Amino acid sequence: MKASLGGRLLHSGVVASDRSRRSARSRGSRRSGASGPASFGHHLRRLLFLGLLAVVASLAGAVHLLAKLDLPETQGQVDQTSILYDRNGVEIARFHGEENRVPLDFDEISPTLIDAVIAAEDRDFFTHPGVDPVAIARAAWSDIRSEGALQGGSTITQQYIKNVFLTPERTLSRKLKEAAFAIKLERETSKNDILEGYLNTIYFGRGAYGIEAAARAWFGVRAGALTVGQSAYLAGLIRAPESADISRLSQVDEAYRRRSTVLRAMWEEGYISQAEFDTVEATPIEGYTLPRVENSATQISDLARLAGTDYLIEEIRTHVEDRYGDQVLFRGGLRITTTIDLRLQLEANQAALSALRRDGDPTAAVLVLDELGGIRAMIGGRGFDSSHVNLALGTEGGGSGRQAGSVFKPIVLAHAVQEGVSVESRYWSPPVIDLDGLDNGNDWTVRNHLNTDYGIIDLVDATAQSANTAYAQLIRDLGPHPVVDLAKRLGVGADLLPFYSLALGAQEVSVLDMARAYSTFAGRGERREPGLVLEVLDSDGTRLERFEPVADRVMSRQEADVVTDVLTKVVEEGTGIGARVPGVPLAGKTGTTQDYRDAWFVGYSPRFTTAVWIGFPGIIKSMRDVAGVDIVTGSNVPALIWQQVMAAAHADIDPGNFVKPGPYPGTVFGVDATIPPNTTSTVPATAPITTAPAATTTAAPPPTTTTAAPTTTTTEDTTTTTTEAGGG
């Protein structure tokens, strides 16, 4: 029975008779102190004690009369902590308001903790009717004798009534109501339910309300796993938790005193043996408690911190707040399950940090999507301590996009395939090419990496080697407008302009954009919107939302399979050979932009799509002599990170297989090998693709100062060189 939000625990149930017997099993073993000689003071205290008993008895009648009244309404709604989990149920973070509270069922709580609380707070809990006149008299007698009382006069039932149903005022009338309502509650509710409600509502310090929040805050464990030492310490905190924090030097002695007191009570009640008492008593409390962390509205687990979850937690927090409001998130006890695999998130973060561990190294952003669109891992940067900008999301993450370089070329290729162009079509790919009028009416000069002359090259090899002059001619023949349209349908959310330099990735996109586009290729032409929230349940377990993958067909299966087949050649024999994972079929593309400012590797298997970007956030800076290499390009550091992430993603799973397209479809266009390199179109007049002049294919040609197609010296990743946008 889950404790409601401060509601009455008026559920019928069986009193825990076993625990009742256990509570009373060692009455005879209690040790009594030695009696001193009789004295006048001793007799006086006994008279006072008898008088007190008489007063208690006289109040009993009034209490029983009040017990006929109905229980009052609860004192407002009790806050509950919302918990964020990964897809496998591993905790990532907690969101809470002033009260950090996670309700548990009775059988989820450690029996050892229950023993400790009963021994410390109410030894006769399982036998009294809600109030215990003898305990009240005993507590008062201890005060008269100036002894530190182990137990107060109030029973656990009375304490629960005070916390949930009454105001905290200290008056006789309130105490009478407390006792009366305790009797009423005991008649209508089982002992287990009362104890469950009590343990879910009391304050244990460090902002923790309830035993589950306390176990996490003090020891980093679940309440069901509490040991004798941990239980004794928590039980000792109940009366005044903020005055026995072991992490505060001034409270160390009090912390040890309280633990000893509870341990002694547990031994007296027969809950622990002498050997257990001695072992725990000799164990330093500092050895099993966590350092004090000032209360925060968002508490991230230790594993999640290591996994670099700052950015994804912030995304989920924003999503839930926008949909349900901050009151529900921080006080409503939501259970939020994400699509994240925390194990893979940890692997991705460690891969990025280990590759970029030196002072002055650039930053990486990583995004992993599964075949249904679920985000399995998201690294948005080095963490909130460095920047709150989520580099994986571009403008959506508070920053800006980055130039895509050659990872944009597969989108141009995909459009060519859709237009009926065979990937076996050939272009002459000279070291340098000037394309008339494509740079705002001026010639557009494009270079291959290291001025390499690829000669006549088909689109398969042009993609594998990232031949810029070949791709520049391809977009010249296709026109940039339809490429922009296809990019948006594939999932690129950035605002792209129809410039010819688009083929070389001269415009800004996000890591999410490229992951989404490539996952459409992996999905055989079906685009699925990425999702980060798998499921949201309210405090009663009612489902509020669930991730429902929706597929939108953008390309035919055969068209997507052709693009995939071409991209497998990049990994098998082209610029992406450093990304290979043994036994896993892979397709992908490298990308490096102007002057090595950005380096990419984006690719996929039948199961996962991963995009990796490396660069210096917020500044234009070349990546030379960083990350342990002379120059960072898509084929080295990004490919290494990508390879490690994909290897971890496919650990112990069947990676599946790509579908081979068979003979490449479409019309093959060729060039005569005797024609020397020139700037004329290589597409013959019979070609079915209409080649329009720049003035008609670019509705708004860019001005010279802002054009994305400058004289372009591009790079490929086989070696290193000076680069402009469009390099691999």
pLDDT at residue 163, rounded to an integer: 75
Residues 271 and 381 in one domain: no
Position 20 pLDDT exceeds 60: no
pLDDT at residue 58, rounded to an integer: 52
Residues 267 and 361 in one domain: no
Residue 1 lies in a domain: no
Q: Please, are residues 526 and 554 in contact by the beta-carbon 8 Å criterion?
A: yes
Position 492 pLDDT exceeds 90: yes
Element counts in the chain: helices (H) and strands (E): 23, 24
Q: Half-sphere exposure of residue 614, counting CA atoms within 13 Å on the CB side?
A: 32
pLDDT at residue 10, rounded to an integer: 26
Q: What is the full DSSP assignment across 542-601?
A: -EEEE----EEE-S-HHHHHHHHHHHHHHHHHSTTGGG--TT---EEEEEE-GGG-EEEE
Q: Half-sphere exposure of residue 493, counting CA atoms within 13 Å on the CB side?
A: 17
pLDDT at residue 13, rounded to an integer: 33
E-only strand ranges, 517-607: 526-528, 533-537, 543-546, 551-553, 587-592, 598-604
Q: To the nearest whole number, what is the mean pLDDT of the chain?
A: 82
Phi–psi pair at 125, nearest 5 degrees: -55, -45
* Closest to 295 measured CA to CA, from 441, 540, 95: 95
3-state secondary structure of 675: coil
pLDDT at residue 552, rounded to an integer: 95
> How far is Cα 167 from Cα 198, in angstroms, rounded to an integer?
16
Position 341 pLDDT exceeds 90: yes
Tokens at 244, concatenated: 């026995």
Position 135 pLDDT exceeds 90: no
Cα dihedral 203, 208, 211, 217 sign: negative
Read off the pLDDT of each residue in 552-580 and give the average, rounded to a whole number. 97
- Provide, rounded to the nearest whole percent, the portion of the chain with pLDDT above 90: 58
CATH number for position 600: 3.40.710.10
Residue 661 lies in a domain: yes
Among 287, 302, 337, the domain boundary falls at 287
> How far is Cα 290 from Cα 332, in angstroms, rounded to an integer?
27
Residues 432 and 514 in one domain: yes
Residues 483 and 400 in one domain: yes
CATH number for position 254: 1.10.3810.10
Q: Please, are residues 76 and 166 in contact by the beta-carbon 8 Å criterion?
A: no
Residues 280 and 362 in one domain: no
Cα dihedral 385, 387, 392, 397 sign: positive
* Closest to 643 measured CA to CA, from 352, 345, 346, 341: 352
Which residues touch 389 (CB under 8 Å, ≥6 apart)?
Answer: 380, 381, 397, 398, 399, 617, 618
Residues 220 and 367 in one domain: no
Would you place residue 725 in the very low, low, confident or very high pLDDT band (cuts 50, 70, 90)?
very low
**Listed range (138-147, 463-472, 640-649) with the worst mean pLDDT:** 138-147
Choice between 526 and 692, residue whose per-residue pLDDT is larger:
526
Residue 645 vs residues 314, 377, 583: alpha-carbon distances, Å = 22, 9, 15
pLDDT at residue 299, rounded to an integer: 86
pLDDT digits (tens, 9 = 90+) for 510-550: 999 999 999 999 999 999 999 999 999 998 899 999 999 88
Residues 495 and 616 in one domain: yes
Neighbours of 2 (CB within 10 A): 14
3-state secondary structure of 676: coil
Position 256 pLDDT exceeds 70: yes
Residue 24 lies in a domain: no
pLDDT at residue 153, rounded to an integer: 62
Among 287, 311, 326, the domain boundary falls at 287
| 562: alpha, beta or left? (left if phi > 0; alpha if psi -120 to 50) | alpha
Q: How many domains does the chain have?
A: 2
* Closest to 483 measured CA to CA, from 335, 689, 661: 689
- DSSP character at residue 625: E
pLDDT at residue 709, rounded to an integer: 36
Residue 310 lies in a domain: no
> How far is Cα 309 from Cα 249, in angstroms, rounded to an integer?
33
pLDDT at residue 567, rounded to an integer: 98
Tokens at 686, concatenated: 């019979």
Q: Please, are residues 481 and 459 in contact by the beta-carbon 8 Å criterion?
A: no
pLDDT digits (tens, 9 = 90+) for 271-322: 999 999 999 999 999 999 998 776 567 889 999 999 999 999 989 988 998 8
Tokens at 632, concatenated: 């960072």
Would you place residue 243 in the very low, low, confident or very high pLDDT band (cuts 50, 70, 90)?
confident
Among 270, 287, 304, the domain boundary falls at 287
Q: Which residue shows structure tokens 């790919």?
A: 429
> How far is Cα 300 from Cα 333, in angstroms, rounded to an integer?
16
Burial 142-164 (b: 16+ CB within 10 A, else e): beeeeeebbbbbbbbbbbbbbbb
Residue 6 lies in a domain: no
Residues 279 and 427 in one domain: no
What angle do the packed helices 228-237 and 252-268 form, to 10 degrees?
Answer: 110
Residues 360 and 254 in one domain: no
- Provide, rounded to the nearest whole percent, the portion of the chain with pLDDT above 70: 76
**Listed range (57-61, 544-548, 580-584, 692-696) with the worst mean pLDDT:** 692-696
Element (H, E) at 500: none
Residue 361 lies in a domain: yes
Read off the pLDDT of each residue in 689-709 and give the average, rounded to a whole number. 32
Residue 40 lies in a domain: no
pLDDT digits (tens, 9 = 90+) for 625-676: 999 999 999 999 999 999 999 999 999 999 999 999 989 999 887 775 444 4
> How far is Cα 697 from Cα 677, in angstroms, rounded to an integer?
25
Would you place residue 399 in the very low, low, confident or very high pLDDT band (cuts 50, 70, 90)?
confident
Residue 312 lies in a domain: no
> How far is Cα 391 from Cα 393, in angstroms, rounded to an integer?
5
Choice between 249 and 339, residue whose per-residue pLDDT is larger:
339
pLDDT digits (tens, 9 = 90+) for 176-205: 777 788 888 888 889 999 999 999 988 898
pLDDT at residue 132, rounded to an integer: 76
Tokens at 161, concatenated: 């009534």
Would you place residue 715 in the very low, low, confident or very high pLDDT band (cuts 50, 70, 90)?
very low
Residue 489 vs residues 405, 482, 529: alpha-carbon distances, Å = 20, 11, 11
3-state secondary structure of 31: coil
> How far is Cα 503 from Cα 488, in angstroms, rounded to an integer?
15
Residues 280 and 413 in one domain: no
Residues 577 and 445 in one domain: yes
Q: Please, are residues 490 and 414 in contact by the beta-carbon 8 Å criterion?
A: yes
Position 59 pLDDT exceeds 70: no
Strand partners, 712: 446
pLDDT at residue 640, rounded to an integer: 97
Position 89 pLDDT exceeds 90: yes
Residues 565 and 642 in one domain: yes
Phi–psi pair at 371, nearest 5 degrees: -70, -15
**Listed range (91-100, 508-517, 562-571) with the worst mean pLDDT:** 91-100
User: Residue 50 sits in which domain range?
Assistant: 45-74+105-287
